[in-house]
Amino acid sequence: MEFTFPKDFLWGAATSSHQVEGNNTNNDWWQWEQRIPLEMRSGLACDEWNRFEEDFKLAQTLGLTAYRFSLEWSRIEPSPGQFDNSALDHYRDMVLSLRSKGIEPIVTLNHFTIPLWLAGQGGWLSDKSPEFFAQYVHKATEALGNDVHYWITLNEPAVYTYKSYIVGQWPPGEKSAIKAFKIAQNLAKAHVLAYGKIKEVYTQKGWKKPMVGIAQQVLIFEPSSDRSLWDRISAGLRDWMINHLFVQALTRRKTGTLDFIGLNYYMRQYVRNRGFLSANIFGEEHVLENPSVRKNSLGWEIFPQGLHALIKAFSKYKLPILISENGICTNDDAQRSEFIVEHLTAVALAIKEGVPVIGYLYWSLLDNYEWADGFAPRFGLIEVDYKTQGRKVRDSAKKFEGIIRSGRIRF
Ligand code: BGC
């Protein structure tokens, strides 16, 4: 059977500022990295700040029609209330470069990192943080809005809350449920204010109405054992809290502030709960040691059917869906080709069943800095040699290109 994707389907790839730009010395992540070994620090990353033109040309040769990247807040507002026009001009050059190549820019306003000055005031814990964010978003919208149609305010607010404030793996390394709750509230407020600001600027300027959303990481949570009520409860709670809670809050009937939902999908996770012996109602992740389970190089289970199931589950919000990230880190590029085909098949099925999926963005355009995991995981369509900053288009990228150019997939 063959499926033809809609004509205006967005075929793209994604990155984020701190992971690719290099030398983002003025944010909380850079400061956090000073305590870890040199090779685990972001450093020059992919030197994308200086090499975007070359990489966008490669993206164009691959037939991409969309590119998601993030603005680095700490470059645009290096100190409170002081905006750096040269940074805004730089991002404007990026947007125009994409447009000139027929590539739709999809701009993320916050992808995990925050300026040092804000971190010094408590980061997203500060009651002022939503308002600070809105001011920065206002400036960015005025500078870029004329040429940007798609905005993503926040990347994975639930993951950020979890990693930075529950398990403490990311800056500021907190482990506090009370703080996490406050963070989630402030992030939701920040989104709502930013949404309002973007709309206000577009209306004032008379620009065509933009599409504003968030990118939400979604996982398939499976009970470790179907027979265990506790496992089922914990898996269900995770599904609600991690996958849906944020989106639910932002799509309430009268106060909806999402024009589309971005889904970042990577894996299936098994959840185990030791019942009354467990202190944690959300249970714990249980890694299956089953040799038939396919995994990426970080040990995440590859489960393409999960993408289909999640798209269907999110169709209940009755909003367009963008697959804002989906990808694999692997040293076996044939595995990447297979991953892309299988996940695009899942998307095709969902569209065929009537869900409005508007695009698919592979994570990532190029190998990059994978946060606490450093540079070892290789997610890119384009390989990066970090010693020379050389680029090499992988065969999987060509496979993806073939699908893009034909606009069809066979399954
Ligand atoms: C994040 C990216 C990250 C990717 C792979 C997503 O959760 O948005 O920043 O690199 O997953 O882990």
Say whether pLDDT at 103 is over 90: yes
User: Which ranges of 206-243 does DSSP label H, i.e. alpha helix?
Assistant: 229-238
Distance CA 216, CA 208 (A): 25
Annotated domain spans of the chain: 2-410
Mean per-residue pLDDT, 277-291: 81
CA separation for the pair 339, 333 (Å, rounded)? 10
Mutate to test the pocket of ligand 1, among 361, 363, 366 (most ligand atoms within 8 A of CB): 363
Separation between Cα atoms, residue 337 and residue 314, nearest integer Å:
26
Indicate whether 288 pLDDT > 90.
Answer: no
Condensed to tens digits (0 to 9), the pLDDT of residues 163-208 reads 999 999 999 999 999 999 999 999 999 999 999 999 999 999 999 9
Query: Which uninterrupted H or E stretch holds 17?
Result: helix 17-20
User: How many Å apart are CA 297 and CA 376, to the nearest integer?
Assistant: 9
Containing 70, the helix (H) or strand (E) segment is strand 66-70
Sign (positive or negative) of CA dihedral 67, 94, 364, 101:
positive
Which band of pLDDT confidence, cut at 50, 70 and 90, is reported for residue 291? confident
Structure tokens at 209: 């109405």
The per-residue pLDDT for 25 is 98
By the 8 A CB rule, do 119 and 172 touch? yes
pLDDT at 24: 98
* pLDDT average, residue stretch 218-223: 97
Render pLDDT for 222-272 as a digit per residue (tens, 0 to 9). Answer: 999 988 899 999 999 999 999 999 999 999 877 899 999 999 999 999 999
278 has a pLDDT exceeding 70? no
Atom 7 (ligand 1): residue with closest C-alpha? Answer: 217
Q: Which fold has domain 2-410?
A: TIM Barrel (3.20.20)
- The confidence score (pLDDT) of residue 252 equals 87
Dist CA 26 CA 374 (whole Å)? 19
Pick from 371, 373, 378 the residue to mutate for probing ligand 1's pocket: most ligand atoms within 8 Å of its CB.
371
Using a 6 Å CB cutoff, which residues line ligand 1?
A: 16, 19, 155-156, 159, 217, 264, 325, 363, 370
Q: How many angstroms separate the alpha carbon of residue 204 from the centre of ligand 1?
A: 35
Cβ atoms of residues 239 and 131 within 8 Å = no
**CB crowding 94-105: b at 16 or more within 10 Å, else e:** bbebbeebebbb
Per-residue pLDDT for 87 more than 80?
yes
Residues above pLDDT 70, as percent of the chain = 99
Q: What is the mean pLDDT of the chain?
A: 96
* pLDDT above 70 for 1: yes
Omega within 30 of 0 (cis) for the link into 304: no
Q: Taking residues 101-118, what's their average pLDDT?
A: 98
Give the H/E segment covering residue 357. strand 357-363
Q: How many whole angstroms separate alpha carbon 309 and alpha carbon 363?
A: 20
Residue 411 is predicted with a pLDDT of 87
Which residues are 383's β-sheet partners?
A: 392
Q: Looking at the predicted structure, is the pLDDT value of residue 279 above 80? A: no
pLDDT, one tens digit per residue, over 336-365 is 999 999 999 999 999 999 999 999 999 999
pLDDT of 297 higher than 70: yes
Can you tell me the distance from the alpha carbon of 350 to that of 358, in angstroms, rounded to the nearest whole number? Answer: 11
Top pLDDT among 313 and 291 is at: 313
More confident of the two residues 53 and 283: 53
Residue 316, number of CB atoms within 10 A of its CB:
10
Q: What are phi and psi of 120, to 5 degrees?
A: -65, -20
